[in-house]
Amino acid sequence: MVFLSVYQNFFSKPYLTIIGVVKMSDGLGRQSVELIDALKDEVSIGFVQTSRPSYKDVPASIKRIIKNSYRPLGHVIVFEECIWSPEKEHYKLLRTPRDDRQIRLAYTMFESSEIPKEWVSILNHYFDAAVVPDNYFVKVYQNSGVTIPIFVLPLGLNLQPLLKEETKVNPHFPIVFGNFGACDIRKNQKLLVEAFYEAFGDTPEVILKINSRYAQEDTAKEIQEYIKKKGIHNVEFTQNCWNNEEYLEAFKTIDCLVAISKGEGFSIQPREAMALGIPCIVSDNTAQHTICRTGLVKTVKASLKEPAMRRWGTILKEPVQYGDEYNCSKEAVVEAFLDVYHNYDTYLAKGEAARQWVRRYDFSEMKPYYLALVKPQEVTLSTKNKITPKGICTNSKELYDKYQRILKKGKG
How does pLDDT run across 190-228, given as a tens digit for each residue? Answer: 999 999 999 999 999 999 999 998 888 899 999 999 999
> Of how many residues is the chain composed?
412
What count of Cα atoms within 13 Å lies in the side-chain half-sphere of residue 190? Answer: 17
Close Cβ partners of 176 (under 8 Å, ≥ 6 residues apart): 206, 207, 208, 209, 253, 254, 255, 256
Q: Given this model, what pLDDT does residue 408 score? A: 85
Calpha distance 143→115 (Å, rounded):
9
The SS3 of residue 31 is helix
Q: How far apart are CA 219 and CA 193, in angstroms?
A: 12
Q: Is the pLDDT of residue 273 over 60?
A: yes
Q: Is the dihedral of CA 183, 188, 193, 196 positive or negative?
A: negative
Taking 90 as the threshold, does the pLDDT of residue 261 lie above it? Answer: yes
pLDDT digits (tens, 9 = 90+) for 287-344: 999 999 999 999 999 999 999 999 886 677 788 999 999 999 999 999 999 999 999 9
The values of phi and psi at residue 305, to 5°, are: -75, 130
pLDDT at 363: 96
Q: What pLDDT does residue 9 have?
A: 61
Full set of structural domains in the chain with CATH: 2-156+363-409 (3.40.50), 160-361 (3.40.50.2000)
Give me the sign of the Cα torsion angle 85, 52, 210, 31: positive
For residues 6 and 84, what is the distance between their CA atoms, to the nearest angstrom?
A: 35
What rounded mean pLDDT belongs to the chain?
Answer: 95
Cβ neighbours of residue 38 closer than 8 Å, sequence gap 6 or more: 156, 363, 366, 367, 370
E-state strands within 212-270: 235-238, 256-259
Return d(Cα 289, Cα 183) in angstroms, integer: 22
Runs of H (alpha helix) within 252-311: 268-275, 289-292
CA angle in degrees (0–180, nearest 5) for 180-182-185: 120
